[in-house]
Structure 1
Amino acid sequence: MNKPQIYKSNALIKASYRLTPAEQRIMLACIAQVRRDKPITDEVLYDVTVADYAALVGTGSHSTYKELADAALRLKRREVWITERPNGEGSHEETLITGWVQSIRYRKNEGRIQLRFTKDMLPYLTQLTEQFTRYALSDVAKLTSSHAMRLYELLCQWRDTGHREVEIDWLRDAFQLGDKYPVLKDLKRRVIEPAVTQLNEHSPLWVKWEQRKTGRRVSHLVFTFGEKTKKIVQKTPKGKSRTGNIGKNHSTSGAMYGIPQSVIEKKAFPGESYDDAALRLLGESQHE
């Protein structure tokens, strides 16, 4: 059975908006239902049930209809700012301010809601032949941070290159952070580091990042990323093996870049950090 896929135009991927994780999941559950083989209108209704929502949240029976309905209502009130060049050419940019959803129908007795996309939103979701990004809905199912979800989409847009550099000011605007985290160290601690940690633990990508300066000011974030390899099989060593010096970048989940903690610890060189050892093993496995 094919996994539900998310298709978004690159203009929408780079748009400025803010959604909670619950609102993101509802939006993605609807986008995954969009038919790409024929035109659709803004009259089409998309269903999201409590079971659908619970499956995405991963909370099972703890999800309630009220939780779903409240998130849908908040989504109805959200704006998205989409900036692009007309016909994809020239230096002149135009910005469209629109909503995601034009109407909601509540069906409490059936444990589901129905949503209609706004008319302005449809071109960014349907009949996409170029300049779009695709990923599986399951790729973000375990992410609990809205920033992690957005970062995953931004990286997927450049999936073939494994490298993306973004201006910090642009990222603040795209995530609609406003006056939050004006100090860079707070932005890194509250937004970037948690998002990267979640992607490394719960997405198909491994991610590393660093800063780049313009003059004396840190102006850009540089992300290096790639597909996680299949689980590396650990061979049973003869006798007691020597464990390398695993640094403070240790992952609380016991894995990094898809490589189990036990494998990294067994194969780390003396003095090698946890992070560096994981990346070295990842590279070695890709060339086997």
Structure 2
Amino acid sequence: MENNLVVQSNDLILATYTMQKTDKELMLACISQIDSRPDAPNVTQDTEYKVTVDDIKSLFFGKKSKNEQNVYRDIENASKRLYDVDIVMSLPENKTLQTRLVSSIVYDPDNGEVVLSFANKILPYLTQLKANFTKYKLLEIGELSSIHSIKMYELVVMWVNQYQYSKEFTIEEFKHVMCVKDKYKQFSELRRYVIETAINDINENTNYKVSVEYQKKARGKGYKGLKLKFHKKLLDKIAGKDGKLSEDKIKSIVDNVQFMNDYNDHPGLSYDGKMSTDSFKREMINIIQREPESFNKPNKALESYLPKVSQGK
């Protein structure tokens, strides 16, 4: 688990399943051991992934101390629950896949470890991925406190990689994508235990900032939907006083002639982006939002290209 890189097909991220936070952590600890590159060695349901008590403590407990015996008990129980997990995934042509996640488990209490193998039907969504996938470092979700926070974080990373920086849902659509379709009948419970908990958790403990706007019903009380907005925290310096990222500010940066002169050699630009002003501006709008950390030339931070009168507004 040297790199701790989690790579999953977006179809798997959008799949529905029910699991607890510890189950998800164990699942991700195994996934992070898979080489998902297209030319990686073949993986089968006999390929095994070992997770130890020390792995779980270092990845998910941080500075918190926890008895090793209790940690092993937790990962053993999580393994048993994972063995019973159903993954339900939408397929083309109106088909649906239902599959187990795990095909086998070996318990080793004496050495404080479990060894898992993934089910055959799930492997195409974890191995030899060429496109339509999302990746993040496992340590990025190490401080998140709930399964809903981890799920929302994965979705946010996926959407940003797809050049989407906001998403609008009906209440039922949101419950489906968050795998809580049959839970939280009252909106107040959904808002408190899922939406607000996940957003606050992500904002406090990850490299992303998320905000929400609730949409009220046209008549009567209650809400019909919500809109999530999200961006990397590195972009906070060009966000408004309300903490939200304005597309107008990003456009004003890419329209700045000095910005073009300074970053026309950016490695994220295509050949057309380096040759054409219009292509440069179009591509840079997305590169800024996806990879703000890449604009790191001395004295050439993104906020330095904002018109002086616009800063802080």
Whether the TM-score (by the shorter chain) exceeds 0.5 is: yes
Larger % of strand: which? 1
The CA deviation at 1:128 is 0.9
2:179 pairs, out of 167, 176, 180, with 176
CA shift digits 1:214-260 (9 cap, x unpaired): 75574432111111129xxxxxxxxxxxxxxxxxxxxxxxxxx79xx
Superposed displacement of residue 179, structure 1: 3.8
Aligned residue in 1 for 2:139 = 138
Q: Which amino acid aligns with 1:279?
A: G
Superposed CA deviations along residues 178-215 of structure 1, whole A, max 9, x for unmatched, are 44221222211111001000000001101111123675
User: Residue 17 of structure 1: CA displacement?
Assistant: 1.0
- CA distance in 1 between partners of 2:218 and 2:2 (Å): 49
Q: Tell me the distance in 2 between the aligned counterparts of 1:101 and 1:177.
A: 22
Whole-angstrom distance in 1 between the partners of 2:194 and 2:18: 13
How has the CA–CA distance of structure 1 residues 174 and 163 changed in structure 2, closer, same or farther, with 3 Å as cutoff? closer
Which residue pairs with 2:225 in the alignment?
220
Change (3 A) 1:280 1:65: closer
Q: What TM-score, normalized by structure 1, do the two folds share? A: 0.75
> Equivalent pairs: percent with the same residue?
30
Q: Secondary structure at the match of 2:121?
A: coil
1:66 paired with 2:47, answer no
What secondary structure sits across from 2:120 in the alignment? coil
The whole-number CA distance in structure 2 between the counterparts of 1:219 and 1:286 is 37
CA shift digits 1:151-201 (9 cap, x unpaired): 011111111332222332123233332442212222111110010000000
SS in 2 for 1:189: helix
Classify the secondary structure of the residue corresponding to 1:104: strand
Taking structure 1 as reference, are residues 126 and 214 closer, same or farther at Cα in structure 2, changes over 3 Å only? farther
**Cα-Cα RMSD:** 2.7
For the residue of structure 2 that corresponds to 1:121, the secondary structure is: helix
Moved more, 64-73 or 145-154: 64-73
Distance in 2 of aligned mates of 1:122 and 1:109: 29
SS in 2 for 1:16: coil
Aligned to 2:28: 28
Q: Quick one: which of 155, 166, 169 aligns to 1:166?
A: 169
Confirm whether residue 56 of structure 1 aligns to residue 63 of structure 2: no
Q: Give TM-score scaled by structure 2 length.
A: 0.70
| 1:5 and 2:5 are equivalent in the alignment | yes
Q: Which 4+ runs in 1 deviate beyond 6 A?
A: 280-285
Match of 1:198, SS state, is helix
Provide the rounded CA distance (Å) in 1 between the counterparts of 2:26 and 2:106.
14
Q: Return 5+ residue gaps in structure 1 as ranges.
A: 86-91, 231-256, 259-274
In 2, are the aligned partners of 1:83 and 1:93 still within 8 Å (CA)?
Answer: yes
Amino acid at match of 1:287: E
Q: Unaligned stretches of 5+ in structure 2?
A: 251-300, 305-313
The structure that is helix-richer by fraction is 2
